[in-house]
Amino acid sequence: MFSKKAMLYLLFSLSGFAGLIYESIWSHYIKLILGHAAYAQSLVLTIFMGGMALGAWLISLISSRVRNPLVWYAIIEGVIGIFGLAFHYEFLFFQEVLFNHILPMTSAPIPAFMMKWGIATMLLLPQAVLLGTTFPLMSAGAIRYDPQHSGHTLGMLYFTNSLGAAIGVLCSAFILIQNVGLPGTSLTAGIINISLALCVWFVAKGRSSSESMIDSTRQVLPITKGRILIVVAALTGATSFFYEIGWIRMLSLVLGSSVEAFELMLSAFIFGLAFGGYFIRRKADDLAEPCIYLAWVQVIMGLLATATLPLYTRSFSAMSFLINGLSRTDIGYVLFNINSHLIALCIMIPATFMAGMTLPLLTNILLKSGGGEAAIGRIYAANTFGAIVGILSAVNLVMPCFGTKGLLVSGGFVDVGVGAFLLIAFGRISSRLIKYSIPLTAVAASMVFFSLTTFDQAVLSSGVYRLGKPSLPAGARPLYYRDGKTATIALIRHPQGQMSIRTNGKTDALIAPLEMPYGADEITMVMAAVVPLALNPAARNVANIGLGSGLTTHTLLATDSIKIVDTIEIESCMVEGAHGFGKRVARAFYDPRSVIHIDDAKSFFSTHQKHYDIIVSEPSNPWVSGVGSLFSYEFYHYIQSYLNEGGIFVQWLQLYEINLGDVASVIKALDRAFAYYRVYNTDNANILILASKDNQLNTVNTWVFDHPKLSSELSRVAIQGPEDLSIRYLGDKHLIAPFFESLNSPLNSDYFPSLSYNAPKSRFKQDDASDLSWLHIAGVPILSWLNGIEPQGKISREGKYFDFYDRQIDAQLVVGNDVAGLEDQKLRFSAEFVNSALTFCRKPPLSDEVIIDILYTIAAAINPYLSKQQLNQYWMGLIDQYVTEDTNGKIEQWLRFHHAISQRQAALTIEYANRILSTEEELTENLVQYLVTAMLTAAISENRYDVAWHIVKRFKLEQGLVSRPFELRFLYALAAQG
């Protein structure tokens, strides 16, 4: 008999494992309907708990008449498994109906919101109701093996189920979704449920009906006591979710707001519940006064929850120590997640341990007080119903009004109050002074924790999980700080006068005062508005996804030709905070053509059914939870249908805290959805992708530089003419796609969200994809040669955030021999010695190798940056001056080779490169790579892919390709596709 109970415990742990997989992936699915992970998590929790409450209540009505609860349990697990197998296809159907049929008929936000909730409920409620029946049925079936030790059985079932759930959350996040996607994860959970059903059926088979009832006639349950226990179950369910939501929001500022961080926090919460159930299993049946024990559990739980406040403030220092002590490697990332989990456990375990005792205690008290098996379902239903109330009131009322600190303390006060009531109602303390002093002391202690713990906003908004610093820089201070429904928003003034707006500690926009050099993000926000206007001068209607600082919307409204800019922002506190940027973004808030909508993008477009000439998407970094879906194929395919003919979609993508593989997953997704696109650098760390669904984009129209307000915005960020845009041009689909296709990265999809799970690791490792920017400054002018856009050698301003400007300035100084103006020591050496090197090339002072190296340095410093005319004059001047009948043949070949590159003469470049390679045996690796790069570029520019592939094979570029310079890997991909 013991072995069968042990088997039931094991099987019920698998039930918890599968159940939390469902909760985890449902959040991923539902955020595709609601638009943000925070909304999805709240809604999934609400429906999940609501369904389980309904299921538990329904089963409580009939549980005493069920002859064999385990058979019913097996059947229900099997049905849950069938739902799991079919869920993905069910979701696709309902999503199609919602966005393509229902929302287009809904013109107002409230009905649209109700429709989304309705569809989500239809999707999740049936499974949730079935899941709600499993604990009462399994408990009743297991208790019938040993009715005298029902408390032990309930504690063990709660422990094993919760332990399985905690492991299921981690397995879902770190293994299943990353390897088999959402459909495969749902399928896995379904298979577990069906297998579980078969096993339980085998265990339950053959039980006799005489074992089917528990003796519930030992006592008659007083009506008042029963009602009190039901209310207590509901209240403790509500406070548990006050704690969960409060801790998760607070710890998001410490651990980060990635998907994986959320799953780690959820797992920590459930682990605490599990071990609370494990602890109470031995005591539940032997307690003389279980109600008094329960009262103390409630009081201590409220105290411990409030006591986490000072512990939480110290977690920022712990994270700082962790970030600064770990290596930014794969192993370091594993250790980061383990320690993040430990931080969450330290915060949550004390109170959740107490919370884990409450449900087994309440159930056993009611069961043994005459409630019968119905008590299991009634307590479970009340507890989960209370959880719904807790979720809704926490997210929509308590946290927006009182913040996370107030939310946590509110839960603590309720628990202390519940414990105090139980002590007064059921305690046998004769002295009224003692009876009332105990709860009052607990309340006073909670107040002490609350009042003595200061939440320093400079600490909370520090982004310690990114930068490793547990506070803002010295002199920086928050001007605005608020816990919104989806995130915590802070507006920061920095010592030098710049202002930044932060989401959960992550800077989303930084703007400097007009009297200072422009801020790091300003050029990207301005270009996101101006470049599509330059490509589509006829644009009238614009949508901007993501407000940020409001600068993009402000810039779009600089021209009177724009009739309306609809800005879609999901967090209302972001709008409140961005007001603080003042006149720098004034048009976004005060121009009558600007309309800000608090909504998610997909719902907005489906509900309003408007089409636009330009749609700009400015999400946060892809590692932020929920943001990855704005970089998915499904989103791109959906959004392109809301572009007018000739319309342009603009995607801002950060190149920092991301690797090339992650960028490839975005490019592949966009490539499949749009017919044509171009890519621009804005600075060294960001790109803009401009895409069209039906035709190639026009050339840049210079009207934006003639418009006074637009010209002013452009000049502010050092863009004063078309040249300043053309030097930032990376390439179009034809040039860019082959390289990204060559990378072994999956296309980012809503249902295979590789970006959401890979990007957090890239953030931790401080990866970057800035190699794309380095194509601009490669020694061979790859981009200008292949794109056919020649530098004009004009310098509008020394750029602060784009290396091309600095290199262009150096190139001008080299050609002009203005040695005093050079900062680069190598170029200074080259400029000083180039004339003497060539003058004495036939004499002993300088060897051929030194002269060749100097020429290579000069060529790499000027050929990519100056116009053909400037370069022709320079190189021909050197050739005419120094090449005579007596000149060393090696030096002449190199001079003519560099000249051929400068004039983009493909055939001559290849010819001279081959001559050099055939006549010189001891070339350095740098020089060989330079020669090969030039030959490949020349061949590809003439569409001579056969020649290019011959060069690849000749120099065995495919061997050790990963370790080769980026420009060679880029050209290899072009040659391979050709």
In tens, the pLDDT along 483-512 reads: 888 889 999 999 988 999 999 999 999 999
Average pLDDT over residues 790-802: 54
Specify the pLDDT at position 723: 83
pLDDT for 121-143, tens place per residue? 888 889 989 998 988 888 888 88
Specify the pLDDT at position 801: 42
Mean pLDDT of the chain: 86
Residue 824, sorted as left (phi over 0), alpha (psi -120 to 50) or beta, turns out to be beta
Average pLDDT over residues 825-846: 55
Query: Binning pLDDT at 50, 70 and 90, where does residue 207 land?
Result: low
CA-based end-to-end distance of the chain: 71
| CA–CA separation, 480 and 457 (whole Å) | 9
Question: Tokens 């970030």 appear where?
Answer: 323
8 A C-beta contact, residue 268 and residue 440:
no
Specify the pLDDT at position 842: 46
pLDDT for 948-959, tens place per residue? 999 999 999 888
Query: 594 pairs with which residues across the strands?
Result: 565
Residue 24 pLDDT greater than 70, yes or no = yes
Specify the pLDDT at position 234: 92
The larger pLDDT score, comparing residue 822 to residue 22, is at 22
Residue 220 pLDDT greater than 70, yes or no = no
Average pLDDT over residues 656-671: 95
Residue 272 pLDDT greater than 70, yes or no = yes
**Residue 559: how many CB atoms within 10 A of its CB?**
18
Specify the pLDDT at position 30: 82
Specify the pLDDT at position 958: 86
Question: Tokens 């919602």 appear where?
Answer: 98
Specify the pLDDT at position 46: 77
Average pLDDT over residues 796-813: 57
**Residue 883: how many CB atoms within 10 A of its CB?**
17
Specify the pLDDT at position 795: 45
| CA–CA separation, 757 and 665 (whole Å) | 12
Residue 960 pLDDT greater than 60, yes or no = yes
- Highest mean pLDDT among 23-32, 111-120, 148-157, 187-196 belongs to 187-196
Residue 927 pLDDT greater than 90, yes or no = yes
* Helix axes 2-34 and 37-62, enclosed angle (nearest 10): 140
Average pLDDT over residues 782-792: 86
Type of residue numbered 115: M
Specify the pLDDT at position 615: 98
The larger pLDDT score, comparing residue 646 to residue 107, is at 646
Specify the pLDDT at position 209: 40
| CA–CA separation, 698 and 677 (whole Å) | 11
Residue 442 pLDDT greater than 70, yes or no = no
8 A C-beta contact, residue 693 and residue 774:
no
Can you give the pTM of this predicted structure?
0.88
Specify the pLDDT at position 183: 95
Average pLDDT over residues 72-78: 92
> Phi/psi of residue 21, each to 5°?
-60, -45
HSE toward the beta carbon, residue 513, CA cutoff 13 A: 8
Strand order in the sheet with 612-617: 594-598, 564-569, 541-545, 612-617, 643-654, 686-692, 676-681, 729-732
| CA–CA separation, 471 and 964 (whole Å) | 40
Residue 210 pLDDT greater than 50, yes or no = no
pLDDT for 853-892, tens place per residue? 888 888 888 888 888 888 888 888 888 877 766 556 788 8
Q: Which two tokens stand for residue 901?
A: 């590159």
The residues, ordered by sequence, that sit 6+ positions from 515 with a Cβ below 8 Å of its Cβ are: none
Residue 600 pLDDT greater than 60, yes or no = yes
Residue 212 pLDDT greater than 70, yes or no = no
| CA–CA separation, 830 and 106 (whole Å) | 69
If we measure between CA atoms, which residue out of 768, 248, 686 comes closest to residue 508?
Answer: 686
Q: Which two tokens stand for residue 3?
A: 């072995």
Q: Which two tokens stand for residue 164?
A: 């399985």
Type of residue numbered 211: E
The residues, ordered by sequence, that sit 6+ positions from 263 with a Cβ below 8 Å of its Cβ are: 24, 169, 170, 172, 173, 174
Quick check: helix, strand or coil at residue 833? helix
Lowest mean pLDDT among 181-185, 431-435, 631-635, 723-727: 431-435
Average pLDDT over residues 624-650: 93
8 A C-beta contact, residue 519 and residue 478:
no
Structural Rg of the chain based on CA atoms: 33
Quick one: 20 exposed, middle or buried, by C-beta within 10 A (0-12, 13-18, 19+)?
Answer: buried
Specify the pLDDT at position 845: 56
